[in-house]
Structure 1
């Protein structure tokens, strides 16, 4: 059973690899530190399971889940994160992931999670509402974000949530003020939000910024 590991911290990748390769029959066929590398490796190796960190630079776990599934439709995705968030569970389920594992549970549950996904069975840990989980497994598109934000939209949302003005965001990202406003408006439209306060709450809830 082949596995792809995706995390931007090499120490975490080594730890995950050591746990997985201690299990007879598991073979890690690739490691990636970025979403782009992960997509290439998924297309090349067509792994049975991809274990991916949610909080990657440039591309988040939901975006990467979709891209991996496009590159390798047979690959099941396990989102591996330190964040226990109902909003993230909704998001990754909507993107097509079949598993959600907290990093704090890795020693005890990583092998079981990967084994379950390899058998096309879902695996979720943490205080995940079981009713929510059952509903989303039956109706994966209902209640997910209308559209996944682009990497640039997420950057703009994060900076606005951190208190920067549109002009300061423009200077920070070296893009025009008009482009900032375009990304901001697009993000708010996709998320169905109408105020900056709601945008900040979204950013905090989805771990784009610390509360």
Structure 2
């Protein structure tokens, strides 16, 4: 904001100086408003041109560009106005030098006058104003961001789920109880062979099948 204000002040001061310069002496006491604008392309003569057809015309155009540039905060318009002022001033010097044979600077009013210096100063101020101005602020670029994922417990209700819930899977080690109990020992129907190196004991009575059957029936064993 401060840069735009400072640049606008410089630009307006430069435009004012450029418009005021044709009313000052340009060469040998002759004012800039006395030079017709078409003489810059055909050659300088002693004829006096009209006011709106003189050197004042391009400087008025530059002042109009400066006003638009300040209102629109356009650095390009202000800089272009400065080039217009400097360009027509340099073109006038070239044509006058061709007509006079050379350009001179005198302190007694002969040669280049203060009107040329005022025009040069106005053009430089216009360029400085364009450099100081910051121009219009650009709006920030819109960046498309992906939508933020919605958490079911924090940002809204949980989504409707009509699918059948899956039954929990049992751990493979505890999926089923032991179907059978493993018994360690001699399986049924397996005859353990008798070892021949075991000595027979005489104090062990022999088995009596009839006595064993009587014990099972509840009869007392016979006395021997």
Question: Which interval holds the TM-score relative to the shorter structure?
Answer: under 0.3
**Which is richer in strand?**
1
Identify which of structures 1 and 2 has the higher relative contact order when contacts are C-alpha pairs closer than 8 Å and 6+ apart.
Answer: 2
Normalised by the length of structure 2, the TM-score is 0.21
Structure number with greater Rg is 2
